[in-house]
Amino acid sequence: MNEKLNVASRTSRGLTTNEEEICIESFANPSHSWKAKNDPVMGGKSYAAVTIENNLAIFKGEVVDVPFLQAPGFVTMETRGGDYPDVSTCQNLRLRLRSSEDYKGYRVSFGTKHVPGNRFAYGFKANLNPPIGSQIGIVDIPFRDFTVRWDDATGDPIVTCEEDDTFCPDLATLQDIKTISIWGEGVAGDVHLEIESIGASGCNVEGTVNFPQVKESARTNAVYHFSLPHLIFIGGAILALLAIMLKKNRNEHRPIKSGK
């Protein structure tokens, strides 16, 4: 689904007037297949299930300690396959949802990027703090709050995007996120979310990249492509060429001695 919504006509739902929203998933008419995954694949005892009822995705379960780790495990609801819109012109991931449990371990992730130092951690992850109660609320999570360098045992960030922008969401991922997951992780307790939709907000109608890290990275890669060793090599080659030209010029203008 690649639906752009003009937010100016939807201020009654609490949206600002000078932005556009791109829909990734609406559970009134879902375009992706959603499945639950639990830590029993790692020997844990957490469990969860995903159902779609009354235009909402219901994510319900419990996170408990993994016996051999003596630490809380995880549960997820995640997409399997499907097409995703380009959200590289947007500022935030937007979720419309509510929680009936005051659970502190909700997180959301997207993408499949993997970096050195991560074992089982794939994609960009951020904390998710849904409203608690009977009313659906809007949660905007800035893309700069996501990091690819997170702890696969707890879900906590190891290095944030703010601390090192090489761990910020990259342009290629934002152009096609490939997968998205909602987590209960790193905190024991009951999980119960009701999700109406997932999208991106603060999108630029001109089609230019909004996310500062993405734009700066793209600009840097385009303009400052050479590393220091490359620059030293190029500088040496230029100096050698100048020396050859100077020597040739001197030879051409050297006086020719006439023989007696």
Which pLDDT belongs to residue 92? Answer: 98
Same domain (yes/no): 39, 115: yes
Q: Which uninterrupted H or E stretch holds 142?
A: strand 137-142
Domain CATH for 88 = 2.60.120.430
Same domain (yes/no): 65, 29: yes
pLDDT along the chain (260 residues), means of 10: 38 43 96 91 85 98 88 93 94 98 97 88 96 97 97 92 96 97 96 98 77 44 36 51 62 54
Same domain (yes/no): 229, 145: no
212: nearest Cα among 165, 178, 159, 149: 165
Same domain (yes/no): 197, 113: yes
User: Which pair of tokens denotes residue 5?
Assistant: 């919504």
Residue 27, in any domain of the structure? yes
Same domain (yes/no): 142, 236: no
Residue 220, in any domain of the structure? no
Residue 212, in any domain of the structure? no
Residue 216, in any domain of the structure? no
Environment class of residue 185 by beta-carbon count within 10 Å: exposed (0-12), middle (13-18) or buried (19+)? buried
Which pLDDT belongs to residue 10? Answer: 34
The count of other CB atoms within 10 Å of the CB of residue 27 is 21
Same domain (yes/no): 108, 161: yes
Residue 214, in any domain of the structure? no
Same domain (yes/no): 127, 241: no
Same domain (yes/no): 40, 163: yes
Residue 185, in any domain of the structure? yes
Residue 257, in any domain of the structure? no
Terminal Cα distance for the chain, rounded: 93
The count of other CB atoms within 10 Å of the CB of residue 58 is 16
Same domain (yes/no): 240, 159: no
Same domain (yes/no): 151, 238: no
Number of domains observed in the structure of the chain: 2
Same domain (yes/no): 182, 232: no
**What's the domain range around 79?**
3-207
Q: How far is CA 149 from CA 68, 113, 122, 161, in A?
A: 25, 10, 9, 9
Residue 215, in any domain of the structure? no
Which pLDDT belongs to residue 222? Answer: 32
Same domain (yes/no): 200, 230: no
